Amino acid sequence: MKDDAQRIAIPRAINWNRLQDDKDLEVWNRLTVNFWLPEKVPLSNDVQSWATLTPEEQTLTIRVFTGLTLLDTIQNAVGAPAMMADAITPHEEAVLSNVAFMEAVHARSYSSIFSTLCSTKEVDEAFRWSEENPHLQAKARAVLETYAPGADPLKRKIASVFLESFLFYSGFYLPMYWSSRAKLTNTADLIRLIIRDEAVHGYYIGYKFQRGMETQTEARRQELKDYAFNLLFELYDIESRYTEELYDDIGLTEEVKVFLHYNANKALQNLGFEALFPPEAAEVNPAILAALSPDSENHDFFSGSGSSYVIGRAVATEDEDWDF
Amino acid sequence: MPGLVYFSSASGNTARFIGQLGLAAARIPVSPKEALPELPDDYVLICPTYADGEGRGAVPKQVIRFLNAPEHRARLRGVIATGNRNFGRFYGMAGDVIAAKCNVPLMYKFELAGTTADLARVREGLSKFWGTECLMTA
Ligand SMILES: Cc1cc2nc3c(=O)[nH]c(=O)nc-3n(C[C@H](O)[C@H](O)[C@H](O)COP(=O)(O)O)c2cc1C
Ligand SMILES: [Fe+2]
Ligand SMILES: [Fe+2]
């Protein structure tokens, strides 16, 4: 009895008024105010739009969403909990528990889309497809290997940033594409909420990776960088094949691959590394960029004569901290 | 000499962009306890966006504090915003807010640490801007 009691490590009660890393509170605050549930989005307004898709387009869309569901399920059940055990600060562990829960909300959301738009039979078939799809299973396996107990915590963060900031995008492309053609616009609103969450997740895990890198020797840093680029090559290979299988029939494969390059570069930047694909290979269709960030027209004052005057769009500028 | 002022939080994306840009730039410190570096006479501000889901808090507190000083505002000639398109309609919104509050042009937006194309664009754009500025004040 006594021995057992001694062996159990009791965590220290978390004190949010003593921070070791200010980012923990900053990200916690943003994540908690951003909390949402799928019920917030009027998905049923997409029923008519759904009916305008061909049966092939519908099947593609359901498959893409089951693939995304799998990634969220992995991050909810395995990825975020594995990183909680690696946390350096207690506040980091708390932030990751929020990440884990939001992944469950994301996974839940896809089923809300399904129950609103599709038949049970179609959905069951798509889930079966996802379980049997070799490329989807391969990317899940590649990430899960790094989440296994005893794996290197920094390698785990690398794989996790790739999941958050790269692997989702072969899937996210499709609702952005529909949205750019004024289809499934409510579904796109929901996906944008997920995309925003994943951006904070990729940012935060990448930030913690960079903090971890600072404590490593030069040789270890090189090893981790090589590991990251090799893993990205491996995942890119799988993603290319997954993309071809999904998008060849509708003729979008090349466009989706450009979107993959663009997101792979951003995932590397989240880890503090330089981009891999040259800008020419990562020039995403402007309609897709506009679907990602609607109403935020591209500002390029520099391309004008230099004397035209561009004022930003009308925005709420109140913030108690401004003195003027 | 006209120049650049920037803010970058501990994640360092904006700082990495400045490092690659190869132009002198003064950094607004993350901690209010640190002293401000010496500022250029006229400058363009590069600022990341940290808004919540409603667009609140887009401009980092450190930058607000900096711009609250009238003598800092007087030398501000334009703003370049950074961010991430994944934040939807609030992409780079710090630039919209600062441009509106300070009545200066929003010159450009780029994501994270920028691309080589963004670097070229900003280098070229700034040199053109300061060039025409000098002609106008000459
Ligand atoms: C909590 C949080 C909120 C953010 N909000 C926005 C936003 O509203 N709009 C945007 O364009 N980028 C947003 N970003 C992205 C940052 O602006 C981007 O990562 C930037 O490169 C950070 O610059 P820094 O590393 O120099 O601080 C946000 C990032 C975080 C972590
Ligand atoms: Fe997710
Ligand atoms: Fe996530």
Q: Is the pLDDT of residue A50 over 90?
A: yes
**Strand, helix or coil for residue B5:** strand
Q: Work out whether strand B43-48 and strand B106-111 pair parallel, antiparallel, or are unpaired.
A: unpaired
Q: Is B96 on the interface with A (CB under 8 A)?
A: yes
Please tell me the residue having the least CA distance from ligand 1 atom 31.
Answer: A200
CA distance A237 to A231: 10
Which of A151-165, A217-231, B25-39, B67-81 comes out lowest in average pLDDT? B25-39
Tell me the mean pLDDT in the region B104-133: 93
Question: Can you give the pTM of this predicted structure?
Answer: 0.95
Q: How far is CA A143 from CA A78, A136, A205, in A?
A: 10, 11, 15
Considering CB atoms only, which of B64, B107, B113 is closest to A321?
B64
Q: How far is CA A35 from CA A45, A85, A103, A193, A196, in A?
A: 22, 24, 11, 9, 11
pLDDT at B132: 74
Q: Which two tokens stand for residue B116?
A: 């080589």
Index of the ligand 1 atom closest to the CA of residue A270 = 19
Q: Is the pLDDT of residue B137 over 60?
A: no
User: How would residue A314 be classed by pLDDT, with cut points 50, 70 and 90?
Assistant: low
CA distance A110 to A117: 11
Which of A224-238, A250-264, A309-323, B53-67 comes out lowest in average pLDDT? A309-323
B-chain residues within 8 Å CB-CB of A203? 11, 84
Amino acid at B109: K
Index of the ligand 1 atom closest to the CA of residue B85 = 11
CB-ligand 1 contact for B51 (6 Å cutoff): yes
Q: Is A203 on the interface with B (CB under 8 A)?
A: yes
Q: From B123, B107, B114, select the one nearest B15 (Cα to Cα).
A: B114
Cβ–Cβ < 8 Å for A31, A102: yes
The alpha carbon of A110 and the centre of ligand 2 are apart by a number of angstroms equal to 11
Place of tokens 């003195």: A323
pLDDT at A211: 97
List the 20-39 stretch of A: residues with Cβ below 8 A of B.
21-23, 26, 29-30, 33-34, 36
CB-ligand 1 contact for A169 (6 Å cutoff): no
Which of A183-187, A276-280, A292-296, A298-302 comes out lowest in average pLDDT? A298-302
The alpha carbon of A198 and the centre of ligand 1 are apart by a number of angstroms equal to 12
pLDDT at A276: 97
pLDDT at B138: 43
Percent of chain A with pLDDT strictly greater than 90: 86
Among the bound ligands, name the one nearest to the CA of residue A194: 2
Q: Within a 10 A sphere around the Cβ of A227, how many other Cβ atoms? A: 16
Cβ–Cβ < 8 Å for A171, A65: yes
Amino acid at B61: K
Please tell me the residue having the least CA distance from ligand 1 atom 9.
Answer: B91
User: How would residue A213 be classed by pLDDT, with cut points 50, 70 and 90?
Assistant: very high
- Beta-strand (E) ranges in B25-75? 25-28, 43-48
CB contact under 8 A, B115 and A265: yes
Tell me the mean pLDDT in the region A4-16: 83
- Beta-strand (E) ranges in chain A? none
Q: What Rg, from alpha-carbon coordinates, does chain A have?
A: 21
Cross-strand partners of A315: none
pLDDT at A195: 98
Q: Is A306 on the interface with B (CB under 8 A)?
A: yes
CA distance A160 to A167: 10
Tell me the mean pLDDT in the region A6-29: 92
User: How would residue A6 be classed by pLDDT, with cut points 50, 70 and 90?
Assistant: low
A262 is catalytic: no
Mean pLDDT of chain A: 93
The alpha carbon of A209 and the centre of ligand 1 are apart by a number of angstroms equal to 17
CA distance A188 to A46: 10
CA distance A257 to A238: 12
CB contact under 8 A, A321 and B61: yes
CB-ligand 1 contact for A203 (6 Å cutoff): yes
Q: Is A297 on the interface with B (CB under 8 A)?
A: no
Q: Is the pLDDT of residue A183 over 70?
A: yes
Q: From B52, B39, B126, select the one nearest A32 (Cα to Cα).
A: B52
- Beta-strand (E) ranges in A124-264? none
